[in-house]
Amino acid sequence: MENIRSEGNLSKFIVDKCLNATVHVSRVESPETSAGIPDLSIAFDMKESWLELKTAPKMRLTQYIWIRDAVFHGRNVWVVWYDEDLDLIRTIKGVDAVKHKLHLTTAKTDWRRPVVGVWMPEQFEITKFLEHINEG
């Protein structure tokens, strides 16, 4: 069983899985780089995706603004949330995070509404995950 209870552990879980795939992954979150920039940039199969990692249903306004602006300009952005209650990794398209204004709520029911992908950590397959996020 994986321990994914912190954002750092979720990042390590995904990055470690990427080591065995043909993928370029960078941990980029930094207030000095750009306010609200997501945690990971992943390039796979000639496409780039940005991942904002969450282990609790909360989003800062700067993260919301970065996602909103990036989606507007055509970037492929995802919120990847570890739902500890159900031990599931969930994906939410950035455009849906903006549409559902997730920065305004911490209710798990609100965060579960726009979910488009669900994985059990012990059955997580990085290639299927990367194909999923590349579909945008």
Kindly list the domain boundaries of the chain, sorted by start residue: 7-135
Q: What local confidence, expressed as pLDDT, does residue 111 receive?
A: 97
* CATH number, span 7-135: 3.40.1350.10
Decide if pLDDT at 1 tops 70: no
The pTM of this model reads 0.94
- pLDDT per residue over 29-74, tens digit each? 776 778 899 999 999 999 999 999 999 999 999 999 999 999 999 9
What Å distances lie between residue 10 and 2, 15, 82, CA to CA?
9, 9, 7
Q: Helices 7-18 and 126-135 meet at what angle, rounded to 10?
A: 100
Contact call for residues 36 and 62 (beta carbons, < 8 A): yes
Per-residue pLDDT at 110 = 96
H or E element, residue 101: none
Q: What percent of the chain has pLDDT over 70?
A: 97
pLDDT tens across 71-88, in order? 999 999 999 999 999 999
